[in-house]
Amino acid sequence: MGVQISPSILASDFSRLADEVAAVSETADWVHVDVMDNHFVPNLTLGLPVVESLLARSALPLDCHLMIDEPDRWAPAYAEAGARNVTFHAEAAQAPVRLAREIRAQGARAGLALRPATPVEPYTDLLAELDMLLLMTVEPGFGGQAFLDLVLPKIRRARAAVGPDSSVWLQVDGGVSVETIERCADAGADVFVAGSAVYGAEDPGKAVRALREQAERATAASSWARKNL
Ligand code: DX5
Ligand code: ZN
DSSP letters spanning 44-89: B---HHHHHHHHHH-SSPEEEEEE-S-HHHHHHHHHHHT-SEEEEE
Tell me how far the alpha carbon of residue 10 lies from the centroid of ligand 2, in angstroms.
8
For the chain, residues with pLDDT lower than 50 are none
Nearest CA to ligand 1 atom 6: 140
Q: How far is the CA of 224 from the centre of ligand 1 (A)?
A: 26
Residues 166 and 198: their CA atoms lie apart, in Å, by: 27
Amino acid at 170: L
Q: Strand 132-136's sheet: what is its strand order?
A: 4-7, 191-194, 169-173, 132-136, 109-114, 85-89, 62-67, 31-36
149: left (phi over 0), alpha (psi -120 to 50) or beta: alpha
pLDDT at 229: 52
DSSP annotation string for 187-203: HT--EEEESHHHHTSSS
Residue 165: per-residue pLDDT: 85
pLDDT recorded at residue 228: 55
Model pLDDT, residue 227: 67
Q: How far apart are CA 192 and CA 171, in angstroms?
A: 6
122 and 145 Cβ atoms separated by less than 8 Å: no
- Cα–Cα distances (Å) from 1 to 119, 175, 216, in that order, read 25, 23, 12
Indicate whether residue 71 lines ligand 1 (CB < 6 A): no
- What is the model's pLDDT at position 1? 78
- List active site positions: 34, 173
10 lines ligand 1 (CB under 6 A): yes
